[in-house]
Structure formats: C-alpha cells, structure tokens
C-alpha cells in the first residue's frame, strides 16, 4: 500500500482534494447501488422505464466534486502565484491540476454517454483519457526525487 505522502506527491493532489474525492465517491457509490437495485427490480419489462433518471444523474456527485476541486485549485493557484517567489512552481502545479481534472472529467462524461447508449464509442476510446493520465502520472513519478 502507498503512504498518503506518496500519493500526494505522485498524484499532485492535496490531502483536502483526496478527502473531497473520497466523499464524492461514497455518495456516487450509494446512488449507483440504488440505481442498479431499482433497475434489477424493474426487470426488462418492468413498470419503471428508467429508474432514478439517467446515468448523468448517478454521476452528478462525481461532476460536483470535479467542480469543487477546480474551484479549490484556482484559489490555491492564485494564492501560490501571488505569495511565492517561485512563480514557475505555482504555474506548474496549476497546470498539473488542470490536466488532471480535465482528463478525469472527460472520462466521466464519455462513460456516461457510453452507459446511456448515446454514443457508439468503444470502451477503449472511453478509457483513453485515463490512459493519458496514467502516462502523465508515470512521468511525474519518475521525475520526483526518491526521498520522502
């Protein structure tokens, strides 16, 4: 298992952002379980045509945490830029957070479209933002010093 300090360094997220993501994942897991339970009870010819709305409703907690994290990153980026002598480090952290959030949001959006059958994308195309993000994390992990 990874330590929290390793996750913070490799992912470029703060402890607060990780906490917000975990809380959002908890709410998402509950809404997903309720949707799947209602869908199973309705059956193929059931009374409820689309229990609990569409997939965008189920994924709404995840989109909400993306918005919260984006707001937090903008505030932190502005404060780091104004308060620090190292403007380049502040800009680098802001750009990394932006790449991370945009790629995750694109993945969630494509997954919602795929689950709703609103697009003909293959799953390899849906997961392509995650593949790019994993490559960026691997490059970032290789660039960081080994000391903790």
Q: What is the CA 138 to chain-centroid distance, rounded?
A: 17
User: 47: domain range?
Assistant: 4-143
pLDDT, mean of residues 133-145: 84
Among 9-13, 72-76, 134-138, the range scoring the smallest mean pLDDT is: 9-13
| pLDDT tens string 30-66 | 999 998 888 887 766 555 555 567 899 999 999 999 9
Contacts of 129 (CB under 8 A, 6+ apart): 103, 104, 106, 107, 110
CB-count burial class (<10 Å; 0-12, 13-18, 19+) for 62 = buried
In a domain, 148, yes or no: no
pLDDT, mean of residues 119-133: 93
Residue 126 tokens, joined = 């849906």
Number of compact structural domains in the chain: 1
């Amino acid at each position: 298992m990874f330590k929290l300090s390793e996750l913070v360094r490799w992912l470029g997220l703060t402890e607060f952002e990780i906490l917000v993501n975990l809380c959002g994942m908890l709410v998402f897991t509950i809404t997903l379980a309720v949707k799947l339970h209602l869908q199973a009870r309705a059956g193929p010819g059931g009374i409820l045509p689309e229990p609990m709305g569409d997939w965008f409703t189920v994924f709404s907690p995840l989109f909400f945490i993306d918005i919260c994290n984006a707001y937090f990153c903008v505030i932190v980026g502005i404060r780091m830029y104004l308060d620090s002598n190292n403007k380049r480090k502040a800009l680098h952290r802001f750009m990394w957070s932006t790449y991370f959030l945009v790629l995750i949001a694109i993945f969630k959006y494509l997954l919602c479209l795929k689950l709703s059958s609103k697009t003909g994308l293959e799953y390899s195309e849906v997961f392509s933002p995650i593949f790019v993000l994993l490559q960026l994390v691997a490059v970032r992990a290789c660039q960081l010093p080994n000391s903790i």
